[in-house]
Amino acid sequence: MEQEHKGMDQAKSLWLANNKKYSFPSVSEDLTADVIIVGGGITGIATAFDMTERGFEVILIDADQVLQGTTGHTTAKVTSQHDVYYHELIQQIGMSKARLYVEANEKAKELIQARVKEHQIDCQLEIRDAYLYTKEDSGVNKLKKELDAYKQLGIDREWKTELPFDRDIKAALVMTQQAQFHPLHYLDALIELLIERGVRIYEQTTAVDVKEGNRPAVITKSGHHLTGRYIISCSHFPFYDGKGLYFTRIHPEQSYVVAVKTKQPLPDGMYLGIDQPAHSLRTAEINGEEVVLIGGEGHKTGQGGNEAAHYEALEKFGQDTLGIQEILYRWSTHDMVTMDQIPYIGHLTKNNPNIFVATGFRKWGMTTSHVAATLIGDLIERKSNPYESIYTPSRLISDSFVKDFIKENTNVAAKLISGKLDRPDQSIDDLKPGEGGIVSYDHKKCGAFKSEDGSLFLVDTTCTHLGCEVAWNNSDRTWDCPCHGSRFSITGEVVEGPAKKPLKRSYKEQ
């Protein structure tokens, strides 16, 4: 394609590229508070906010800088339309619980709207209808089942056979009165309010363990103890397992986004094409100009082959659909998916009355993070919450999901050992400037990146989380673990957990 990639900031989202930078201190002494929250993404911040509304004293830590994780790379549709989901959810958990799931997410959406209004937050919050659409007969059948589910669940809806920008579709199912926003502008405002309320926020502070007990403590990499009455893990992949076996119960799914200026505008609405590969569309405003976010091309992290091809496929879709004038940003990130596709929110395990977790949002974390904040707050205050049994991480999971889970884990196990014995057939000399890959070096296998000026960066490709082999991601210039989603920089530093330690760099670089 001929489009310009003017000013494109590789691997930075348009939200992060245009947002203020924070610089909170790191923890340098033992500290205490009522609640210790680990993770400064939307989940940690929404939960901290909820805790302060309930009068708790809060410490929030982040291993990196706040908002730089998945939240900084989202597409930020604020909706209960979680893909084609509800007809299966009804079969899975029954009608009354499925109704509660919708209600939980609608309330979360309304909570965000009410908060924006109350605190006059300037975050481009706009009411938009959410569309699922298809161009295939099989897709129409799926959408008809989903329509039926919407009717039974009482979801406000419309059925369409045309889209304003595409007359060739076969059907679209619309969930009306949903929303989109600028996630970081919303969260910036919450952070300001948290600071005003006395919340202590620390960055570059990695939680590595927990000391369980009546007064549990988060132990940081620097050896400091953050002691509280309650600990809440909002670290995306849980930073502490506590015998919950989370590493066998969730897997990461990667997706790609491009932000483009288009030739034709995208008419009001947020769209998700359900035919494979699925495509998501929404508008956003940046420096007074409208851009379109095109997302999709999802796959398991580290297992998607050539990363650049995914961006190109999104750009081709954008070109065919709206026409592209300019490509501004490209980025990718991953979200966690649970065994039964329902998030894990609640007590870390049945034996942990004062340690909580929120994870597995399946790329629908804008509302789910707020469901989590309220639910965990109610659990802490021992108030009954109608959504507890739906989300509890200790729920029983049906056999069919367990079978899928075994398949999933076979795949993860395969990734754990695959490549360990292979001898790479390329050497450092085969890498072009700006390229990375697994190479033979000094009779050993290692991960190498050759920068544009010819400098070499070599890492041990064994993930420091559970020992899987990391794969090179040439678009984002990271080493990605296919098992649980850890990502490392060219120098081996952790970009994203669950790994807490950098990749080894035991090789002598040239």
Ligand X SMILES: Cc1cc2nc3c(=O)[nH]c(=O)nc-3n(C[C@H](O)[C@H](O)[C@H](O)COP(=O)(O)OP(=O)(O)OC[C@H]3O[C@@H](n4cnc5c(N)ncnc54)[C@H](O)[C@@H]3O)c2cc1C
Region near ligand X per CB under 6 A, out of 299-307, 359-367, 402-410, 431-439: 359-367
Among 19, 43, 178, 354, interactor with ligand X by CB under 6 A: 43
Q: Which amino acid is at 259?
A: A
Region 226-245 residues binding ligand X, contact defined as CB under 6 A? 234-236, 239
Region near ligand X per CB under 6 A, out of 131-139, 151-159, 318-326, 364-372: 364-372
Q: Are 499 and 481 in contact (CB under 8 A)?
A: yes
CB-nearer residue toward ligand X: 146 or 496:
496
What tokens does 228 get?
A: 């509280």
CB-nearer residue toward ligand X: 184 or 468:
184
**Residue-wise burial string across 361-379, b where 16 or more C-beta atoms lie within 10 A, e elsewhere:** bbbbbbbbbbbbbbbbbbb
Angle, helices 86-93/95-118, rounded to nearest 10 degrees: 120
CA distance 326 to 421: 44
> What does the CA dihedral 430, 433, 437, 443 come to, rounded to 10 degrees?
50
CB of 19 to ligand X, least distance (A): 14
CB-nearer residue toward ligand X: 115 or 334:
334
CA distance 359 to 506: 34
Among 33, 48, 63, 173, interactor with ligand X by CB under 6 A: 63
Verify binding: residue 132, ligand X, rule CB under 6 A.
no
Q: Are 63 and 27 in contact (CB under 8 A)?
A: no
Using CB under 6 A, count the residues that bind ligand X.
40
How large is the C-alpha radius of gyration of the chain? 22
On the 0-12 / 13-18 / 19+ scale of CB atoms within 10 A, 268 is exposed
CB of 75 to ligand X, least distance (A): 4
Region near ligand X per CB under 6 A, out of 113-121, 360-368, 425-433, 473-481: 360-368
Verify binding: residue 61, ligand X, rule CB under 6 A.
yes
CA distance 227 to 204: 18
Residue nearest to ligand X (CB): 365
188-193 long-range contacts, CB within 8 A, separation 24+: 188/19, 188/20, 189/119, 189/121, 189/122, 189/123, 190/45, 190/46, 190/49, 190/115, 191/22, 191/45, 191/66, 193/49, 193/52, 193/119
Region 192-221 residues binding ligand X, contact defined as CB under 6 A? 206-207
Verify binding: residue 345, ligand X, rule CB under 6 A.
no
CB of 167 to ligand X, least distance (A): 25
Verify binding: residue 302, ligand X, rule CB under 6 A.
no
Region near ligand X per CB under 6 A, out of 259-267, 366-374, 446-454, 479-487: 366-374
Residues that bind ligand X (CB under 6 A): 38-44, 61-64, 68-71, 74-77, 206-207, 234-236, 239, 255, 257, 295, 333-335, 361, 363-367, 369, 497, 500
